[in-house]
A = this chain, B = another copy of it.
């Protein structure tokens, strides 16, 4: 039951990226579960990875390979996260890279491995032996839509987006896919995002951009506060379009960054819209904070409050719960008489207390919508942060309590 979710079906191929998809049988039969991405020589690639201390074997290996060599292949499997699998899990991740390297004539460190699915079970290596040749056999620039489905786990819908724009007289394309629907399922974890552009982006700029873009997109969404062991995001710049970003302060850089940001945010928001059991898509905006950290602390505390989330599910504009969450967010020397809270344009809290003009009917009308914004003004500075979340429904409990049973 995704919220205002439209499946994107107008993928633009990116010159320099081909995708192959296979039914490898990693965990389930008869579904695409192995994706190979071939990246042309000369492309630049940057990645951002989970901060979970228990990061999965492929995450560790992927980061090593990114440092050692130019990436030529991406290898993604669903069905098994290869996390919590110790040394044999790491060896399996290495073996999977060796298999793809051998089949394509590159070195293993040119392969970036990604896994998502069940934690703690050994990777089914026979599936890789079976699936890699199948995926390589259908490598195509036009396989983005199938790849978007091929990386799904508990997602109900595939997530992707493409855009193009003119920069410096050249047509530039961006295409991306993502997956993730909670932290997630019992063990079916992980947010994954792969975004490619045919622009050239200098390596020194690319890694900074990837971090900045993830921070304003994938790092600003939360379904349930749980962080997966496998979260990863990759930004690929093939350089085939003729546009060259070598000066981060150029107009071209600014234009491309804006375009990339829109794609990153769309892919991130799609994960929330398809959040486990989600019935509402809610923006939590914190304004007038003294620091970015306190803005985020307040926003996450509100977004993670089960009481706020169940009130959203119930379309109950329960401002007391929002106020209580703001109050426990750990902001030091908090002057609550400066706090204003709005839902869309309806003010519910004025100077720390119930707004006199507020009427239940006004709040109920906003909370009844499938999308709205909660704005919390702290009156402490001029920093603003926003993040996107969803409500907490019976369906969430059902999904997360029934898996594996």
Contacts and interface: CB of A to CB of B under 8 A. Distances in A.
A331 interface: yes
| Most central of A51, A316, A320 by chain B CB within 10 Å | A320
Contact of A320 (B86, B89, B186, B325): B186
Contacts of A316: 186, 401, 403-405
A70 interface: no
Contacts of A147: none
Interface in A385-405: 392-394, 396-398, 400-405
Contact of A324 (B118, B226, B311, B405): B226
A123 interface: no
A377 interface: no
A85 B53 CA distance: 43
A306 interface: yes
Protomer copies = 2
A242 interface: no
B226 A54 contact: no
A351 interface: yes
A228 B320 CA distance: 10
Interface residues of A, number: 67
A229 B327 contact: yes
Given A118-B320, A119-B323, A186-B307, A352 B397 contact: no
A397 B402 contact: no
A393 B400 contact: no
Contacts of A53: 326-329, 331, 334, 336
Contacts of A334: 53
A319 interface: yes
B225 A305 contact: yes
A186 B321 CA distance: 6
A38 interface: no
Given A305-B225, A336-B53, A354-B120, A324 B189 contact: yes
A347 interface: no
A198 B351 CA distance: 44
A183 interface: yes
Nearest to A226: B307
Given A307-B226, A324-B52, A402 B314 contact: yes
Given A120-B319, A226-B324, 8 more contacts: A52-B327, A89-B353, A119-B320, A119-B324, A226-B325, A229-B323, A310-B397, A393-B397
Interface of A: 51-55, 81, 83-86, 89, 118-121, 182-184, 186-187, 189, 224-229, 304-307, 310-311, 313-314, 316, 318-321, 323-329, 331, 334, 336, 349, 351-354, 392-394, 396-398, 400-405
